[in-house]
Structure 1
Amino acid sequence: MSQQSKPSSVSRRDIARNAKPMICYRVENLPPKRGDAGLYASLRTAVSGGNDSLVSTLVIPPRDARSWQVPAGHLWRIVCSHGPQVADMNCWSTRDPRDRFYASKTRQIHATHLTTGDRLWSNMPYLRPLATIVEDTIAYGFDDDGAGVHDVIGSRCDPYTHHLMTGEDVDDCCHSNLVRAAAGDGLTEGDVHDVLNVFMCTGFTRDGNRYFAKPSPVEVGDYIEFFAEVDLLVSASTCPQGDVSVACGDVGGTPKTYPLTVEIYRPKEGWLEGRGWSASEVSGYGGNHGLG
């Protein structure tokens, strides 16, 4: 008989507690952004430099949602135009709305909170960049409580959770706002998905790792700007929580809410193509999954 190895005296729990964290997905292993080396840096000043021009503007009323289309290669901004306000954003490929923003994978690849240079990835089996953030005027980083801005950790406020906790039917929430906007675009409630929480300041508590929010640091004039990597349908809700000075579910008064402005910019003809850019393509994985 072979001699059995002695069980390790080191606890697996001790191994885990003493091990250094390992980054699961290294961004340097991702396919590079398309175009020449300086293209994405120059997109930050494309509007002021005259390489992109404003083609349309829309206003998202308070406590409501609106949708807009962004052709591949165009920019769009969500602008704090009237007062501190957060927004919940969805986006879909216009060619196939099943190809849509995937908050979980975006979080795994980049971080809990997004900023300039991060890409918005779509769900499987497509898994490609739908858009890239090219400017974030807040550039908040992380504060002493571990809070950051533009998170992909919290979902939208919704009537189901509210009913679960209060027994009340309330439609004044981001999920319902997005459902109404989606219906106007020929989509259904099932097409509404986890969001990018634009301008929202959030994190996890040190004790208990519970999701928390702070009043948004956004000020009038701040904006986040995206570059469309494919033809997109985008929808955003102005959250009924305003700047989230009041926690969801609190009944101590109605939060102050404001409109947000969306601006869409078209690139100068031939500018992107001359710098080697082209729209992103769906994943090249063969899709067999070992099924034979």
Structure 2
Amino acid sequence: MSASVISDFIVPKSSGKAFKVNKGQLLRVIECEGKQVASLMFFNAHNFKEQFMAEFSGGLSYFQPPDLGRIGSHYRLGELYSKVPYENLMLRVTDNKIGDHFLGTHCTKKTMEILHAPGNRSCSDNFAEALREYGLQLEDIYSPSVLNAFANITIDQKGDGSIHVKPPRSEQGDYIEFLAEMDVLVAVSACPDDQSPINDHVCKAIKIQILEEP
């Protein structure tokens, strides 16, 4: 039998939302219209100091032998681990058809200044507002450690190592799905960057579903 949806809501364009997902539940991040990045943070729901670490998770995925079936990369992560000294498995990716997901920073006030759009809303603003409900401030966490779902960002491996940002390949209805291996607090930002190609220059909403297996 397929999993049942127990929560279904929209994160409006250029906004953020924080919510909890219990161990054993599935989290599905869905494209409402397509070509929209969802930046994601994850915390242990019972200890906010234990946070998903993108770089650490990418490194662990690199060292996993392919025959384990969990191989990941900077763009297609299989398992999400918390930072040192915790090093716990937080979530496991269970469905990832698109595979364009970038581990790295999110847009900030400084990003918008560089893009000649001072005052433009950023993912930092979205995260700050979403996490305030849980008593968290950006200065209390390692905010750059995010998974940017649907982000079509590549690094030049043969040249100068430059970063290339392209419009997402994801279309309406595409999604990435996670299995929670612990109770987690999730913060999602429907990226408000309309200055670069990262959202194809048009900001859109993101749909969230929480599901349970029968």
- TM-score tier (shorter): 0.7 to 0.9
Name the residue aligned to 1:57: 8
Distance in 2, Cα, partners of 1:84 & 1:243: 14
Distance in 2, Cα, partners of 1:246 & 1:150: 12
Distance 1:119 1:244, change over 3 A: farther
Contact 2:7 2:210 in 1 (8 A): yes
**Alpha-carbon distance, 1:218 to partner:** 0.2
CA RMSD, aligned part only? 2.2
| 1:228 corresponds to 2:180 | yes
Name the residue aligned to 1:68: 19
Q: What's the secondary structure of 2:150's corresponding residue?
A: strand
| 1:122 corresponds to 2:88 | no
Name the residue aligned to 2:165: 213
Name the residue aligned to 1:257: 203
Letter in 2 for 1:137: K
Q: Whose Rg is larger?
A: 1
Distance in 1, Cα, partners of 2:84 & 2:27: 25
Q: What's the secondary structure of 1:220's corresponding residue?
A: coil
Distance 1:60 1:242, change over 3 A: farther
| 1:175 corresponds to 2:127 | no
Distance in 1, Cα, partners of 2:24 & 2:145: 24
Name the residue aligned to 1:85: 36
Distance 1:220 1:162, change over 3 A: closer
**Alpha-carbon distance, 1:229 to partner:** 0.4
**Alpha-carbon distance, 1:119 to partner:** 0.5
Q: What's the secondary structure of 2:110's corresponding residue?
A: helix
Higher relative contact order, chain-length normalized (CA < 8 Å, sep 6+): 2
Higher share in strand? 2
Distance 1:77 1:242, change over 3 A: farther
Question: Deviation digits for residues 67-121 of structure 1, max 9, x if unmatched?
Answer: 1210000001000122321111001011000111001101111221124xx1111
Runs (5+) with no aligned partner, structure 1: 1-48, 140-148, 248-253, 269-292
1:245-284 alignment, distance < 5 Å? 245=197, 255-268=201-214
Q: Percent identity among equivalent residues?
A: 25
Name the residue aligned to 1:196: 147
**Alpha-carbon distance, 1:170 to partner:** 2.3
TM-score by length of 1: 0.64
Distance 1:243 1:133, change over 3 A: farther
Question: Deviation digits for residues 198-249 of structure 1, max 9, x if unmatched?
Answer: 00011112421011211100011110000000000101111123695269xx
